[in-house]
Amino acid sequence: MASTSARGPLLLFIAVAVLVVASQVALWTLGGDDDGVRQSNSAAADPAEQAQPHEEADAVAEDPPELPPEVPADYTLRSNEFLTLEHASLPQDRSVTLGLVLPVPSTSDEPLAVRVVDTSGRELRAQAIVQGRERASANLDIEPGWLVPGTYLIHLTTKERSALPLRRFPFEVR
- Do 87 and 144 fall into the same domain? yes
> Are residues 116 and 126 in contact, defined by beta-carbon separation less than 8 angstroms?
yes
Query: Considering the entire predicted model, what is its pTM?
Result: 0.59
Segment 87-133, tens digit of pLDDT: 999 999 999 999 999 988 998 889 999 999 999 999 999 999 999 88
137/147 Cα distance (integer angstroms): 21
Parent domain of 8: 2-62
Segment 61-82, tens digit of pLDDT: 555 455 566 779 999 999 889 9
Range picked from 9-18, 19-28, 153-162 for highest mean pLDDT: 153-162
- Do 83 and 168 fall into the same domain? yes
- Do 89 and 155 fall into the same domain? yes
The phi, psi pair for 109, rounded to 5°, reads: -90, 0
> Are residues 112 and 130 in contact, defined by beta-carbon separation less than 8 angstroms?
yes
Segment 22-62, tens digit of pLDDT: 555 554 555 544 444 444 444 444 444 444 555 554 545 55
Of 62, 87, 112, at which residue does a domain stop? 62
Of 62, 91, 112, at which residue does a domain stop? 62
- CB neighbour list of residue 61: distance below 8 Å, 6 or more residues apart: none
